[in-house]
Structure 1
Amino acid sequence: MDKLQKKINYQFKDVDLLKQALTHRSVGKSNNERLEFLGDSILGVVVARELYKRFPHIAEGRLSRFKSYVVRGQTLGLVALDIKLSSLLILGSGELKSGGHNRKSIQADAVEAILGAIFLEAGFDAVNTVILDLFKKYINEINPNDTLKDFKTQLQERLQKFKQTLPQYELIKTTGKDHNALFTVRCLLQDQAIQVEQEAKSIKRAEQMCAEILLDKLKK
């Protein structure tokens, strides 16, 4: 815990709050889902404000794409890797057996939960500082001349360029209820005989995760 707090440059007064932020729902009722909900919103606000200030002449549509690039699951996973979060996750026995420590979605959720916990304990200015520090290099990567098309669009355009069959997305499993639901999506590239499955808290996010993986496979 001490190493983590040094990496995020924030010292919790209430360490139990940090432990809750690291606790997956598979453990029980006292988990990080509510903190994740809060952290997700705070992250969006901080990044949106920073982009608004950095790029005063860019229209809303492109700002929205820039924001999505910074707060997407992949970036959160990279932040989790930067702060060496995986070994600190508190998981239930089922998730432990299935290798939950290595699941990018669980790591991403924990990053958001930590941000929510900081906001609860210390307020907006404190979490604003932490976010801009943790996400600095990813925000700095943004080129205002880029369109930053999402992965589904990139995949579709690549396939169209080579006159290949478009990807087929299919929702194959839903677990949990209401705001706790997890969606598993399968994406098939028929011409290449490749398919992948990804799980996320929204169908859209799961589809984007599938498209990202398939793009990487096609580029190799």
Structure 2
Amino acid sequence: MSGNPEALLADLDDLAKALGHGFRDGSLLLDAVTHPSLMGLERTGRGGGRPAQGPGLAYERLEFLGDRVLGLVVAEWLLERFPAEREGALAKRHASLVQREALGRVADTIGLGRHLRLSPAEASSGGRNNRTILADACEAVIGALYLDGGMDPARRFIREAWASQIERVQPPPLDPKTALQEWAQGKAKALPTYELVDQTGPAHEPEFRVRVRVEGCEPVTGTGSSKRIAEKQAASALLRQLGVQVDG
């Protein structure tokens, strides 16, 4: 990018179009693509950009805001998209959609890397392709959208940019113990209890047998080379007995 402030803003026209928003305050978008590594250089006049103007020049503050805006919009969207899903599953979907990998994919889609303003050292070390930097800057861009136009442009961008991901993402499979616990809670029953029945075999190759009990159900046992594995086997067996699909 050029060092002239007007030229810097003009260089971001393509990014603004990718975001689907005409910025009234272009400096917000400029801040959103400015890496903190550039701040020290600009304070000394060696960064080739506009002079430092205190907090907010780099993307960190906008990243802080954008993270919250993204979280809210995704939460709102998930409630709408999956109206019958329970809180636990929604939380897992939400975590997947706001994590660094998801943000990085969106950053790639809008070509954010080529617009980043980095110090020479950061640029030479591959900063434009750094997944953490891209994710942080993507959140900052969302913060800039919110500050410039309010929730509507931020929501519109997020829903368009994350559309393919929200359809693809699935909550991580529950392990059998967690699935059994959630089943019991859903039936207003006490939590499952596990009891070690016995341990056989030599010390280097033990076999554990564990019994699981849930109120109103026949106890079931499971075996394994550790207590944890035996507990999971017992939980799986009880879930199958109950006709509940077991994920793992």
Structures share a fold, TM > 0.5? yes
Q: Provide the residue aligned with 1:25 in structure 2.
A: 36
Q: Provide the residue aligned with 1:87 in structure 2.
A: 114
Q: Provide the residue aligned with 1:112 in structure 2.
A: 139
1:62 aligns with 2:73: no
Q: Provide the residue aligned with 1:16 in structure 2.
A: 27
State percent identity of aligned pairs: 39
| 1:11 Cα deviation from its structure 2 partner | 1.4
Task: Call closer, same or farther: CA 1:130–1:63 in 2, change over 3 Å.
Answer: same
RMSD (Å), alpha carbons? 1.4
| 1:13 Cα deviation from its structure 2 partner | 1.4
Q: Which string of whole-angstrom CA distances, capped at 9 and with x for unpartnered residues, describes residues 45-74 of structure 1?
A: 000010011111111111010011111111
Task: Call closer, same or farther: CA 1:148–1:78 in 2, change over 3 Å.
Answer: farther
How many residues align? The count is: 147
| 1:16 Cα deviation from its structure 2 partner | 1.4
2:20 counterpart letter in structure 1: N
Unmatched segments (≥5 aa) in structure 1:
150-220
1:4 aligns with 2:15: yes
User: What is the TM-score of this pair, normalised by structure 1?
Assistant: 0.64
Q: Provide the residue aligned with 2:150 in structure 1.
A: 123
Contact 1:85/1:107, CA 8 A, preserved across alignment? yes
Q: Determine the C-alpha separation between the residues in 2 that align with 1:12 and 1:64.
A: 33
Return structure 1 stretches of 4+ with deviation > 6 angstroms: none
Q: Provide the residue aligned with 1:175 in structure 2.
A: none
Q: Provide the residue aligned with 1:147 in structure 2.
A: 172
2:119 counterpart letter in structure 1: G
| 1:148 Cα deviation from its structure 2 partner | 5.4
* Pairing partner for 2:159 from 107, 128, 132: 132
Q: Which string of whole-angstrom CA distances, capped at 9 and with x for unpartnered residues, describes residues 180-220 of structure 1?
A: xxxxxxxxxxxxxxxxxxxxxxxxxxxxxxxxxxxxxxxxx
1:108 counterpart letter in structure 2: A
Q: Determine the C-alpha separation between the residues in 2 that align with 1:12 and 1:148.
A: 42
User: What is the TM-score of this pair, normalised by structure 2?
Assistant: 0.57
Q: Determine the C-alpha separation between the residues in 1 that align with 2:172 and 2:102.
A: 17
Mapping of 1:199-214 within 5 angstroms?
none
Q: Determine the C-alpha separation between the residues in 2 that align with 1:56 and 1:38.
A: 27
2:31 counterpart letter in structure 1: Q
Q: Determine the C-alpha separation between the residues in 2 that align with 1:3 and 1:148.
A: 40
| 1:93 Cα deviation from its structure 2 partner | 2.5
Name the SS for the 2:111 alignment partner: coil
Task: Call closer, same or farther: CA 1:142–1:99 in 2, change over 3 Å.
Answer: closer
Q: Provide the residue aligned with 1:49 in structure 2.
A: 76
